[in-house]
Amino acid sequence: MTDSTKHGLSIADMRREYREPGFDDIDVNPDPFRQFEAWFQDAVDASVIESNAMILATATPDGRPSVRVVLLKGMDEDGFIFFTNYDSRKGAELEANPRAALLFYWPELTRQIRVEGRIEQVSRRESAEYFHSRAHLSQLGAWASRQSSVIPSRAYLEERMATLVEQYDGREVPLPAFWGGYRLTPETFEFWHGRPNRLHDRLQYGRQLDDSWEIERLSP
């Protein structure tokens, strides 16, 4: 008997039958960025909660992985942009191993998109522009939290925040040196669409040496 059964759960029996139509090779955009934009707009139009939420996977040089949810905050012809504390665990791993993977999952649409590629920090100008577009208290939160570090209590964090609120009352909050953006430049995309009988659609785009994209259909 599995632990899930002993506790009244039947995880093995949890399944969803996908009935939505998939997508054909002829319907996809030859440019994966344009295909991403089309699916992202569909998620927004469908009122998917936090449609810009994406799972970010990083790893140490010896292959120890870690994963978390972050928010997509920009996209351009060079890649996908998000912001965080450079001294966090993910920041340390990206410094040592500047490769990562992203996953967008929109269950309402039975779709997911995987993106893999290289990571680099965005310019300080880009980081400053986004930082100062955030709410005042969110800016102070970046200073209050030394992300991923051990703290003695919740009260310790709240006291740090209260001190900063008083210190920067009516004043501009400077961009922390330890905080800013990253850009993932894709080398591969995979677009997944759920289909009946688990015969899902999977189309993979691979970047070629001349920066063109090769599209291949993968077995589900």
198 is catalytic: yes
Q: Could you give the CA distance from residue 186 to residue 175 in angstroms, rounded to a whole number?
A: 28
| Nearest Cα residue to 183 out of 98, 103, 68 | 98
Q: Could you give the CA distance from residue 200 to residue 35 in angstroms, rounded to a whole number?
A: 18
Catalytic residue of the set 68, 124, 198, 217: 198
Q: Are 28 and 215 in contact (CB under 8 A)?
A: yes
Residue pointed to by tokens 């740090």: 160
| Nearest Cα residue to 120 out of 89, 151, 78, 160 | 78
Q: Are 141 and 165 in contact (CB under 8 A)?
A: no
Amino acid 120 reads E
At residue 216, the 3 state secondary structure works out as strand
At residue 147, the 3 state secondary structure works out as coil
Lookup: tokens for 202: 């999977």
At residue 164, the 3 state secondary structure works out as helix
Between the alpha carbon of residue 166 and those of residues 95, 140, 176, the distances in Å are: 34, 10, 18
Which sequence positions are flagged as catalytic?
198
